[in-house]
Copies of this chain bind each other. A is one copy, B any other.
């Protein structure tokens, strides 16, 4: 049996990694084979050559999608929290994986993300020490038909986990 590829897309600090880790723990407790492929961690392993321009972001998404698909074909459910701002790159992963691709839009509004600012990116952008921040001065193309929408500013992590796990049945 194939596993799912659960692709969590959204702005920086939207809560993608937190929710992905909580879903991974829940599925693992249920006895499922699970792998977390965090965007930042995978960048270090597979994409050290890539930057944050559009082509490089798309290539990053493509490589993660390749690895996620390999694992899913062997029954592993793979959680991929990756900003992945461009629709066409996400759709290419969907096409590769097929019907077991589950797109989760972590739809936290930019104002809430900027307030959380887990990595200090929003502060750096405001201070003028970085540019190209997704959702601020770089594009984010919202999913048109995601399988799940998770508005973390209005929903607990537990409720988000329930929604996503329900979509995997």
Contacts and interface: CB of A to CB of B under 8 A. Distances in A.
A85 B48 CA distance: 22
Instruction: Kindly report how many copies of this chain are found in the complex they form together.
Output: 2
Interface residues of A, number: 16
A75 B33 CA distance: 10
Contact of A74 (B48, B49, B75): B75
Contact of A66 (B35, B45, B49, B66): B45
A70 interface: yes
A118 interface: no
Interface in A33-49: 33, 35, 45-46, 48-49
Interface of A: 33, 35, 45-46, 48-50, 59, 63, 66-67, 70-71, 74-76
